[in-house]
Amino acid sequence: MFKHMSIRTQIISSFTLVTGLLAVTVYMGMSSLKSSNESLRTVYEDRSVPLAQLGQIKATVMSNHALLMEAALDNSPATVSHVRREVNANIESVGKLWKQYTSTYLTEEEKALVKRFEEHRGRFVQQGLKPGLAMISSAKPEEIRRFVLNDLDALFKPVRKDLEELTELQVNVARQEYENASAAYIGFSRTASIIAILAVIGSVLMGYFLLRSIVLPLRRATGLSNAIAKGDMDTSLEIGNRNEIGSMLLSLKEMQTSIKSLLHDVNHMVVENKAGNLDCKVDAAKFSGTYKTLTENINDMAANQADVMRKASICIAEFSKGNFNAPLEKFPGQRAFINEGVEGLRGNVKTFIADVQSMSDAHDAGDIDVRIDESKYRGAYAEMVRGVNSMVGAHVQEKAEMIQVMRSLGDGDFAVQIQQYPGKKEEINKNLDRLKGKLKGILESVKWVTNEHAQGNVDMTLHAHMFKGAQIHADAGLRNVE
């Protein structure tokens, strides 16, 4: 019967049943409770409230005393203004509280204490607080402290004593009222016991009827919530109620659907990003509220990561074009490792270029022993430096070998040999061999002419058509000698 009733109707029905059972027994204790209630009202209105009012009055009066001491320690204009404002407000507040207190029921003893307090407080205000307020803006701090510790304190002591006696009186009268109420309690305790028993029976009955229609569906809702919290979005939920619980279960199911859709879209974006589609985003328009904010934040984060990658890639692309001064913005936080890597690449390449240029300049100046310092580099950069140094060393060695051959040829050693160079360097061997052949030809021709002249054939000369360039001049010189 309760399954399709609203929770409000179920609770009202159960409460009405329990109330009907209690109404009969409650009436029996009403008369006794009335007298007890009157005693409690008296304790509250005539003793508890006045006790709180007296406590506030005492605290406010003590606050005035402390404020004047504050001004004695610091009589700056700001402090003086603050103290005056607070003290005047406190005097007015005490007056209102005192008026409220004296409007309650007062015993004869209490009336005498009230009269005495009013006299003492009047002197405290007129002879203490007001002169003190006048003094704080003109007197010296030492004079203010002396006034507060002596004159004001002497006026404050009887006020404090009166408040303490009034407070004690409230406690004593309240104790008497309590004793009277305790005596009345014995009279209606049996009635209260009966009411409690009936209330327990009614609560048990109400709990029994509410269990199947409220608690069990709530357990199903809790199970679904726990499954969602653990990441299980495939748990099914049967919605059998058509009340508020059913609406809550339906909302949970819709939440489950929204989260599943969000997770599906996020996973799709991750797959697309891994496949290189950096522009893939979650469609935030499909969601609302916090889910929409979450998807927008995810999209922003992915776009920001892609933007960082683009900026770094653009900078490296400039490196590939030879622009090693291409700027790269400083990334915050842990992204700084990107800057460190790019700047490390930039630094190594620029250092290598500078070292190659420096070595080239040194070689142009004739210092052919200069090499790049390999110890400055690591890994592939060190291998590259070793390769450059090896290549330069090989060229220097080849020049040294050619110089040595030229020196030997200059010394007349035409039997000198040079290693066979590979590839296009073979032209070196060919040209050196050609040079040796030409020089040997000139030498042989000179020997022949000399021999012919020695035999008396002075008309014999070198054949100019056999020589070219500077060799022609050598031939002409020899003929002039003839």
* Whether residue 378 has pLDDT greater than 60: yes
Average pLDDT over residues 21-28: 67
269 C-beta neighbours (distance < 10 Å), count: 19
First to last CA, the chain: 148
CB 115 within 8 A of CB 165: no
For 77, other C-beta atoms within 10 Å of its C-beta total 8
Q: Are 154 and 88 in contact (CB under 8 A)?
A: no
Domain ranges of the chain: 7-229, 244-320, 420-482
Statement: 244-320 belongs to CATH 1.20.120.1530: yes
- Strands (E) in 410-457, as ranges, are none
Query: Letter for the amino acid at 66?
Result: A
Is 471's pLDDT higher than 50? no
C-beta separation of 243 from 216 below 8 A: no
pLDDT of residue 481: 46
Q: Which two tokens stand for residue 2?
A: 């309760």
Instruction: Among 17-21, 132-136, 223-227, name the one with the lowest average pLDDT.
Output: 17-21
What is the spatial distance between Cα 170 and Cα 175, in angstroms, rounded to a whole number? 9
Least confident of 175-179, 208-212, 237-241, 410-414: 237-241
Report the candidate in 167, 172, 43 with the shortest Cα–Cα distance to residue 113.
167
CA atoms of 103 and 474, how far apart (whole Å) = 146
Rounded CA-CA distance 49/244 in Å is 44
Give the H or E element holding residue 98: helix 77-102
With a cut of 60, say whether residue 465 has pLDDT above it: no
Q: pLDDT for 201-238, tens place per residue?
A: 877 777 776 666 666 677 777 777 787 777 777 777 66
Tokens representing 322? Answer: 């030879």
Per-residue pLDDT at 90: 83
- pTM given for the model: 0.42
Give the pLDDT mean for 254-268: 78
Q: What percent of the chain has pLDDT over 90?
A: 0
Q: What span, in angstroms and rounded, lies between the C-alpha atoms of 171 and 164?
A: 11
- Determine the Cα angle at 207 with ends 206 and 212, to 5°: 110
Q: What is the model's pLDDT at position 478?
A: 45
Other C-beta atoms within 10 Å of 152: how many? 22
| Cα 382 to Cα 372: distance, rounded to the nearest angstrom | 10
8 or 180, which is more confident: 180
Answer positive or negative: Cα dihedral of 273, 275, 280, 282: negative
Q: What CATH number should be reported for the domain whose range is 7-229?
A: 1.20.120.1730
Whether 244-320 and 7-229 are alike in CATH topology: the answer is yes
CA dihedral 140, 144, 145, 150 (to 10 degrees): 140
